[in-house]
Amino acid sequence: MKRNFKIYLALIGLLGLLFSCEEDGTKVYMLDNPIAPSISTVPDLTLLRTNGANIISFVGTPVDPGFKASATYFLEACVSGTNFVDPVTLYSGVQDTLIQFTVSSLNGLLLKKFDADVATSADLRIRAVLVVDAGTTAPGTSSNPFEYISATKTVTVTPYGQPRLDLINSGMTQKVESALGNGQYVGFVKLDTSKPFTLKDPDTNKTYGAGGSGLAVNGSAIAVPTDPGSGWYRLKVDTNALTYSLEPYRIGLVGSATPNGWDTPDQKMDYDSKSGTWYITITLVDGDIKFRLNDAWAWNLGGTTTNLVHNGSNIAVTAGNYTIRLTITNETSGSETGTFTIVKN
């Protein structure tokens, strides 16, 4: 009798465990037809430099897969009728209910795709990338995420041209621009230690160079630092305060598929100022790649073509010669994001 009683208790305990697991567990179900995000409000996109510091907003609704989901949203624009084959990414982030820009920052992004001071018909969309990882039975892992796209909004965009300073004797045609027209200029420039340069304002015909600890009208040619030497820099100039700074900015490809493997130096990419993208043509072997800044891991991007994130997973590639183009959608270190294309030649 005691033996039967013990078996009975054991059975009750097992059944209790099974029922408690079912009660404590969280079941997540995805709708058969998840509701795509939408763009409900678009601001006037005839932009004016005099409003450069103003805030403008896009309003939308999030993706609804049937449960509370974490998604990454991309606000994209393209020339009308091109079907987003080559869009410019205006925003990348975790929500689309309220996307805000200063007029000057949005203007700079639109100039990557649309001509200055020209009214152009543009298509806009919100693209939501949804990852469903452990804890659910649904497909959609980080290597193969779900994607939902809003209906297209067609609008007219007119970005304004920006005041500029031309680099003289730098070895190539390049410039830095002032988004607000307030004497503060910034841009990526490719410099050579053997080619000191000056800066010319084509509107006022003034030339700026080095003078004392900063900038001077008709100053001497600006020397390129020997450490880290020739390569890409972010150049900032303030013609009011007569200051300038040069910050090394070398985006590179690293990984077992590259010639140097995971070791430095990385395979350096070049910058296309019109599209705002970094690009390289390179021969790779079977292996992995990632993107990083200045040969260091503090800033690095991995993941998928449509969803690159800080410290993201390695990107697998097969052997071949490729042209790779990287778009950085958020360059803030620690939360950097982006997208890229890889085309076999």
Residue for token pair 């090394």: 248
What pLDDT does 68 receive?
Answer: 72
Mean pLDDT, range 191-203, rounded to an integer:
97
Q: Does domain 38-157 have CATH number 2.60.40?
A: yes
Mean pLDDT, range 238-263, rounded to an integer:
98
Q: What is the DSSP letter of 144?
A: S
| Close Cβ partners of 103 (under 8 Å, ≥ 6 residues apart) | 47, 48, 51, 52, 53, 54, 55, 56
What pLDDT does 22 receive?
Answer: 44
Q: Does domain 164-248 have CATH number 2.60.40?
A: yes
Q: Rounding to the nearest 10 degrees, give the CA dihedral for residues 48, 178, 278, 47.
A: 0
What pLDDT does 70 receive?
Answer: 76
Q: Rounding to the nearest 10 degrees, give the CA dihedral for residues 217, 218, 220, 221.
A: 90
Percentage with pLDDT > 90 across the chain: 78
**Residue pLDDT, tens place only, 44-81:** 999 998 999 999 999 999 998 887 777 899 999 999 99
Residue intervals in the chain for CATH 2.60.40.3620: 251-344
Q: Record the pTM.
A: 0.74
Contact 199, 165 (CB under 8 A): yes
What pLDDT does 130 receive?
Answer: 84
What pLDDT does 134 receive?
Answer: 46
Contact 112, 275 (CB under 8 A): yes
What pLDDT does 132 receive?
Answer: 66
Give the pLDDT band of residue 135 (cuts 50, 70, 90): very low
* CATH number attached to the domain at 251-344: 2.60.40.3620
Question: Between these two residues, 33 and 205, which has the higher pLDDT value?
Answer: 205
Contact 95, 73 (CB under 8 A): yes
Contact 317, 342 (CB under 8 A): yes
Give the pLDDT band of residue 42 (cuts 50, 70, 90): very high
Give the pLDDT band of residue 143 (cuts 50, 70, 90): low
Mean pLDDT, range 134-163, rounded to an integer:
78
What's the mean per-residue pLDDT of the chain? 89
What pLDDT does 3 receive?
Answer: 41
Query: Which of 96-100, 111-115, 140-144, 267-271 is most confident?
Result: 267-271
- Least confident range from 38-52, 72-86, 122-136: namely 122-136
